[in-house]
């Protein structure tokens, strides 16, 4: 599996890279099919917007060219793009050098088919997401909250964990975005305080609206989640997983979940 740094095959990074020292950067995880990244424009838009917010001087044309060549060589699998601020001296003051592009590859995860067909059980994580509007929505390199949350369970019975913010609002899964369906309305949490604004989440919202499905992006309390008609998760690698259980609450796999799951599968398989 290839690994590149700044457009060239490589297996190491300089010790002074700010991504290593401070998590000063962003990343994207993309499914690659037939040498092309799936949902490329959404991934590029998110990393570009993230660089603008972090004041990292991204060369979007160079990045696009490197990514196209890397995915063509990979063919099939997963491409992980990391953009760091580049090299820096000791101290938090941002460096003014060139950003660094890291591209890593891996095989597509072999998720159990029952996750998509029968649904998954959510683990109720006690780790809470801190509220930081300046970083909310970004897929930045600081993922220690997710590391702590994922360490909370080791059993195979839970495929994902439910994460809430410090105020108790429902936000997302550890590596997924979350939707619920209530009275025919598709609802997903507002991510203006914390959480990752996933590319599959954005795609499903746009597709649902185009189909005339009522959609809402707003705060969700735990009681509303527990009272929902349908619940599902999504990300850019597996598409859509129905949620069938959270502790003693069980949900059926509903019709809207299946409709959006089929749309996601089409995107990932084409």
pTM, two decimals, is 0.94
Of 106, 137, 169, the domain-final residue: 106
What is the per-residue pLDDT for 47?
Answer: 97
Of 61, 87, 106, the domain-final residue: 106
Please determine, for residue 139, whether its predicted confidence score (pLDDT) is greater than 90: yes
201 contacts: CB under 8 Å, gap ≥ 6: 177, 179, 188, 234
Please determine, for residue 116, whether its predicted confidence score (pLDDT) is greater than 90: yes
| Length of the chain (residues) | 270
In terms of domains, do 20 and 88 share one? yes
**pLDDT-above-70 percentage for the chain:** 100
Enumerate the β-bridge partners of residue 103: 4, 81
What is the per-residue pLDDT for 97?
Answer: 77
Say which CATH number the domain at 15 has.
3.30.470.10
Containing domain of residue 87, as a range?
Answer: 3-106
In terms of domains, do 244 and 130 share one? yes
| Radius of gyration of the chain from its Cα atoms, rounded to whole angstroms | 19
What is the per-residue pLDDT for 168?
Answer: 98
User: Is the separation of the CB atoms in 103 and 70 below 8 Å?
Assistant: yes
Over residues 208-229, mean pLDDT:
98
What is the per-residue pLDDT for 193?
Answer: 98
Over residues 34-52, mean pLDDT:
96
70 contacts: CB under 8 Å, gap ≥ 6: 2, 4, 79, 103, 105
In terms of domains, do 143 and 91 share one? no
In terms of domains, do 75 and 119 share one? no
User: Is the separation of the CB atoms in 90 and 22 below 8 Å?
Assistant: no
Of 76, 106, 136, the domain-final residue: 106
Please tell me the distance from the alpha carbon of residue 240 to that of residue 179, in angstroms, as a whole number. Answer: 10
In terms of domains, do 131 and 265 share one? yes
Count the domains in the chain: 2
Q: Annotated catalytic sites, by residue?
A: 29, 139, 172
Q: What is the mean pLDDT of the chain?
A: 96
In terms of domains, do 55 and 147 share one? no
In terms of domains, do 186 and 126 share one? yes
In terms of domains, do 58 and 119 share one? no
Handedness of CA 240, 174, 124, 108 (dihedral sign): positive
Say which CATH number the domain at 141 has.
3.20.10.10
What is the per-residue pLDDT for 214?
Answer: 98
Task: Categorise residue 125: left if φ over 0, alpha if ψ from -120 to 50, beta otherwise.
Answer: beta
Please determine, for residue 96, whether its predicted confidence score (pLDDT) is greater than 80: no
């Amino acid at each position: 599996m290839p690994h590149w740094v700044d457009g060239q095959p490589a297996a190491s990074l300089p010790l002074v890279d700010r991504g290593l020292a401070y998590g000063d950067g962003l990343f994207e995880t993309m499914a690659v099919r037939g040498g092309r990244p799936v949902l490329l424009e959404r991934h590029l838009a998110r990393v570009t917007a993230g660089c603008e917010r972090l004041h990292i001087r991204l060369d979007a044309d160079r990045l696009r060219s490197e990514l196209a060549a890397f995915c063509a060589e990979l063919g099939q699998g997963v491409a992980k793009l990391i953009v760091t601020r580049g090299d820096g001296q000791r101290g938090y003051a941002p460096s003014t050098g060139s950003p660094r592009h890291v591209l890593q590859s891996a095989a597509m995860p072999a998720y159990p088919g029952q996750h998509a067909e029968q649904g998954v059980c959510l683990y109720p994580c006690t780790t809470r997401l801190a509220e930081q509007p300046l970083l909310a929505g970004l897929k930045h390199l600081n993922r220690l909250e997710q590391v702590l949350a994922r360490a909370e369970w080791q059993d195979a019975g839970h495929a994902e964990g439910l994460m809430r913010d410090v105020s108790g609002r429902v936000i997302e899964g550890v590596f997924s975005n979350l939707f619920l369906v209530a009275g025919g309305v598709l609802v997903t949490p507002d991510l203006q305080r914390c959480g990752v604004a996933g590319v599959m989440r954005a795609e499903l919202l746009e597709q649902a609206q185009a189909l005339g499905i009522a959609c809402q992006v707003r705060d969700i309390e735990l009681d509303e989640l527990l009272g929902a008609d349908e619940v599902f998760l999504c990300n850019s690698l597996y598409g859509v997983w129905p949620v069938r259980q959270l502790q003693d609450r069980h949900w059926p796999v509903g019709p809207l979940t299946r409709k959006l799951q089929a749309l996601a599968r089409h995107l990932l398989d084409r």
